Amino acid sequence: MLNRFLSHCLLVAAGFLAAVPAFADKPNVVILATGGTIAGAGADAAKSATYQAAKVPVDKLIAGIPTLGDVAQVRGEQVFQIASESFTNDHLVTLGKRVAALAKQGDVDGIVVTHGTDTLEETAYFLNLVVHTDKPIIVVGSMRPGTAMSADGMLNLFNAVSTAASKDARGKGVLVTMNDELNSGRDVSKMVNIKTEAFKSPWGPLGMVVEGKNYWFRLPAKRHTMNSEFDIEKIDALAPVEIAYGYGNVTDTAYRAFADKGAKAVIHAGTGNGSVSNRVVPGLRELRGKGVQIIRSSHVNAGGFVLRNAEQPDDQYDWVVAHDLNPQKARILAAVALTKTNDSKELQRIFWEY
Ligand code: DAS
222 and 267 share one domain: no
Beta strands across the sheet bearing 265-270:
241-245, 265-270, 293-298, 320-321
Q: Are 91 and 32 in contact (CB under 8 A)?
A: no
124: CATH: 3.40.50.1170
**The domain boundary residue, chosen from 168, 194, 227:** 227
In the chain (354 residues long), the average pLDDT of successive 10-residue segments reads 55 44 77 95 87 90 94 98 98 98 98 98 98 98 94 97 98 98 98 95 97 97 98 98 98 98 98 97 98 97 87 96 97 98 98 98
Planar angle of CA 57, 60, 63, nearest 5 degrees: 155
**Would you call 86 helix, strand, or coil by DSSP?**
helix
Q: How many Å lie between the centroid of ligand 1 and the Cα of residue 241?
A: 22
Angle between helices 327-337 and 120-130 (to 10 degrees): 30
Beta strands across the sheet bearing 181-184:
73-82, 28-35, 110-114, 137-140, 175-178, 181-184, 207-210, 213-216
Q: What local confidence, expressed as pLDDT, does residue 96 receive?
A: 98
156 within ligand 1 shell (Cβ under 6 A): no
83 within ligand 1 shell (Cβ under 6 A): yes
Conformation bin of residue 49: beta by default, left when phi > 0, alpha when psi is -120 to 50: alpha
Q: What local confidence, expressed as pLDDT, does residue 332 receive?
A: 98
The model's pTM is 0.93
DSSP secondary structure of 133-153: --S-EEEE--SS-TTSTT-SH
**Do the domain assignments include residue 93?**
yes
- Domain of 43 in residue numbering reads as 28-227
Q: What local confidence, expressed as pLDDT, does residue 14 receive?
A: 47
297 and 340 share one domain: yes
Q: Domain count of the chain?
A: 2
The ligand 1 atom at the shortest distance from the C-alpha of residue 118 is 9
311 within ligand 1 shell (Cβ under 6 A): no
The ligand 1 atom at the shortest distance from the C-alpha of residue 83 is 4
